[in-house]
Structure 1
Amino acid sequence: MERAELVELLTPEGLTLLDEVAGADTGDVVATVSRLRAAGHSPSLVASVLTQAKLRAKAQGKFGAFAARMLFTEAGLEQATRLRVAALHAGRFDSAGLTRVADLGCGIGGDAMALAALDLEVTAVDVDEVTATVASYNLAPFESAQVEHASAEDIDLDRFDALYFDPARRTAGHSNTARLTQPSDYTPSLDFVFAAAAARPTGVKLGPGFDRSLIPDDAEAQWVSVDGHVVELGLWFGAVARDGIHRSALVLDSNGSHELHAGADSDDVDVAPLGEYLWEPDGAVIRARLIGDVARTLGAGMLSDGIAYLTGDEARTTPFATGFRILERFPLDERTLKRALRARGIGTLEVKKRGADIDPAAFRTRMNLKGPNSATLVLTRVAGRHAALLCERL
């Protein structure tokens, strides 16, 4: 979204039209455009409201019912914290008795909304004018929130008793942005962020693949997964960090919130013979390097050195790993597997792989599946040797 588009959208005509369009069936885009143009609306406004209607629908997964009254940019929505996760962030500041928080790199305002919902005084800051304006719109219902268009480096941090950073990890722009691979290219720089964190309670949102060697020794590092997808790494310092916890895996699913934490990476377990069951640890557990702790709760061992699968003989369940019953083991040979799957009438196949250089989608196509049955096929290594494990979920 460019500045001129946002200016037009924020007029009474634009916002009224957005509410009308967002609440209507716009499946036939051509007909909708023709109708709105015939009503006298400009092509640019029609394009803007249709884009916003699409983004509001997409945003429901992150913001639920709140999305219906928010504005978005494509990049801002993609990078925004899910409201469920943002509420947990805000809870740390609230529990620590911190009342004046700066959200630096606020984006469209997701985390600032969660902070303001707890009546904390939040100043949301973004260097991009359009993004800051969108955040201002989204935060308008909250009396304790304000927005500043500025860079984090230009803000007087002494005004606040706590900080929350979400450094820009993608190229500038409001759509079609690219991920920055070097932390040195983040805005603000991590040197600035970590220096600020040394002076006052601070939270930092980073990508889950962030280089672990760059995590400061005094940080609590928490990897968060939502419905099986690892969405962020949070680093917490000072009063918003928990004593004695330096590694945490937080798993959020339909059954609630589950956390595994420790003072350091957990000790590994030994490789075990292939048992009757296989477990795939949650991505947050893998990132936090707490696989050993999960393995011990399951009475399981590693399937193979360097492969994040566990195996054992008891059908135990845990929110920190997905369990499978192993039905049969095959060599990792496509012709053998194709015959076996066809003989079993398997037409729907979930393909998982670790330690095997195979594209699951392409592999599934080559199997030419037919039949009424379904199964999971795990392509991996067992005790260092390639194998295919036909499984069913527990």
Structure 2
Amino acid sequence: MDLDAFRWLLTDAGQQLLDRAAHAYADVAGDPVAAASAVRRLEPDPDRATAALSQVQLRVRAVAKFGDDALRMYFVGDALEQATRPRIAAHRAARLAAFAPQSVIDLGCGIGGDLAAFARAGLTAAGVDLDPLRVEIARANLAALGLAGAVEVANSTQLDLSGFGACFADPARRTSSGRVFDVNGWTPSWDFVLGLFGRASVVKVAPGIPHDLVPEGVEAEWVSEAGDLKEAALWSPAMATARRRATVIPASGGLATLTEEDDPYDGATERPVRPVGGYLYEPDDAVIRAGLVTAVAAGVDGGLVDEKIAWVTSDSAFRTPFARGYRVVEELPYREKQLKAALRERSIGRLAIKPRGVQVVPEQLRKRLALSGAHEGTLVLTRVAGAGAAYLVEPI
């Protein structure tokens, strides 16, 4: 989007067009061609018309992430994809605010999602970004949400950070060629990130970051929302309270967190493997990435089905935010031909397949099984004591 067109969008005339474009978009049920034609009839300038319609379309997309706030905010597509989900941003801001820094600077603030969370947490927040359009959007978003904060165009690697109580960074992990998995390709660089850990700071990173890349004294926190692993954050030694943490934000609300201090097997040479009991537990992906599966096992008075597999088993039923629980209905044959016969015998026509530690593609297996019947079920395919195993289970 053109910067001048966006700035015009913030004027009274631009706001009127934006409102009328939203109604036009709704009137044609989101049809992009019809909506574009309608908006061009309202505004002949192509840049202004495109700016207004693109904001309407992006706001509709953003509702899934930002809720009602999206209807007041401004976006660009790639920045919307990269923006932190609000509940995760709120958790991070609250945790940072607990250290009571006098101020926080967001190094690479994008469209200002994290800046808004910092402001809502009562922090004095400032943001910088290299992209003038994103800076303008971040500034507009703070104003639209009624929040305080300063935003400027600047290179974060050339700033004097000594005047800020804490730093937050979300290095860009995408280029024109796509996602960057090597930390040496981040912007700002990994060396810059390492330098931030000498002061109070938190850095958002991809959840696949290897454990051995986390510096000594830095806490790695993996965060999931509604069962989906979304990101990891590295907390500098000045703010770290653990080595590894899994934070789970359920769809129903609230928050739960787990660290190595909750794991009696942390550092043990042997993992607690035991026979499959009456219940199976599927740890949240944040727990798995944090290496805290045995903490879940301890929490449900159970153990692992296999030393290298992230399935927990117990003789008792528990409800835990850190894992999905299932009652084991029965063990079924693992070999495909016998498994197919067993499922048909039980009239199972709809089957959720949960493989772990085995080379199975659920969609392909489901097609080969050619299921038919009035019942539905959940099938766990995994390895127990090194051998393939199949269990028919039901959620608890």
The letter for the 2-side match of 1:33 is A
Question: In 2, are the aligned partners of 1:247 and 1:263 still within 8 Å (CA)?
Answer: no
Q: Deviations over 1:15-44 (max 9, x none)?
A: 333233335523333332332233344444
Alpha-carbon shift at residue 10 of structure 1 (Å): 4.3
| Structure 1 equivalent of residue 210 of structure 2 | 211
Alpha-carbon spacing, 1:47–1:335, altered in 2? closer, same or farther (3 Å): farther
Which of residues 247, 250, 262 is equivalent to 1:250? 247
CA distance in 2, matches of 1:181, 1:54: 30
TM, length-normalised to structure 1: 0.90
Whole-Å separation in 1 of the counterparts to 2:55 and 2:362: 35
Partners of 1:61 and 1:35 lie apart in 2 by: 25
* Aligned-pair Cα RMSD in Å: 2.3
Distance 1:160 1:128 in 2: 22
SS in 1 for 2:178: coil
Range with bigger deviation, 282-291 or 312-321: 312-321
- State the partner residue of 2:35: 32
Instruction: Answer yes or no: is 1:164 the counterpart of 2:161.
Output: no
Question: Within 5 A, what are the aligned runs for 1:311-350?
Answer: 311-350=313-352
* Residues 143 and 289 of structure 1, relative CA distance in 2, 3 Å threshold: closer
Quick one: distance in 1 between partners of 2:347 and 2:30? Answer: 38
Instruction: Output the amino acid matched with 1:99.
Output: Q
Displacement after TM superposition at 1:252 (Å): 0.5
Q: Quote the Cα distance in structure 1 between the aligned partners of 2:345 and 2:52.
A: 53
Paired position in structure 2 for 1:353 = 355
CA, structure 1 residues 187+371, in 2 after alignment: closer, same or farther (shift >3 Å)? Answer: same
Cα distance in 1 for residues equivalent to 2:338 and 2:93: 53
CA shift, 1:264, in A, is 9.2
Q: Which moved more, 1:119-128 or 1:34-43?
A: 34-43
Within 5 Å, give how 1:1-394 maps onto structure 2.
Answer: 1-3=1-3, 6-7=6-7, 9-22=9-22, 25=26, 26-141=29-144, 142=146, 144-171=148-175, 178-198=178-198, 200-242=199-241, 245-253=242-250, 254-263=252-261, 266=266, 267=268, 269-394=271-396
Rounded Cα–Cα distance in structure 2 between residues aligned with 1:388 and 1:217: 41
Aligned counterparts of 1:4 and 1:376: Cα–Cα separation in 2: 55
Stretches of 4+ moved more than 6 A in 1?
none
Partner secondary structure for residue 378 of structure 1 = strand
Q: Is the 8 A contact 2:21 2:39 kept in 1?
A: no
User: How many residues are matched?
Assistant: 387
Q: Check whether the contact 1:96–1:239 (CA below 8 A) recurs between aligned residues.
A: no
Give the AA of the match of 2:231.
Answer: E
Cα deviation digits, residues 237-268 of structure 1 (max 9, x gap): 244333xx222111101141111123597246
Question: What's the CA shift string for 1:61-99, capped at 9, x where partnerless?
Answer: 322211111111121111111111111222233222212
Q: Give the letter for the 1:225 counterpart.
A: S
Q: Percent identity?
A: 43
Q: Distance in 1 between matches of 2:339 and 2:50?
A: 50
Equivalent position SS for 1:87: helix
In the alignment, is the contact (CA less than 8 A) between 2:271 and 2:307 conserved in 1? no
Q: Which runs of 5+ in 1 are unaligned?
A: none
Structure 1 residue identity aligned to 2:71? A
What is the DSSP-based 3-state SS (H/G/I as helix, E as strand, rest coil) of the residue aligned with 1:140?
helix
Alpha-carbon spacing, 1:144–1:390, altered in 2? closer, same or farther (3 Å): same
**Unmatched segments (≥5 aa) in structure 2:** none
Structure 1 stretch 230-239 or stretch 366-375: which is displaced more? 366-375
Quick one: distance in 2 between partners of 1:129 and 1:255? 36
Kept in 2, the 8 Å contact 1:93–1:99? The answer is no
Residue range with higher mean Cα deviation, 260-269 or 383-392: 260-269
C-alpha contact (below 8 Å) 2:296/2:312 kept by paired residues? no
- In the TM superposition, what is the alpha-carbon distance from 1:119 to its structure 2 partner? 3.7
Aligned-partner SS, 1:168: coil
Contact 1:338/1:367 (<8 A) preserved: yes
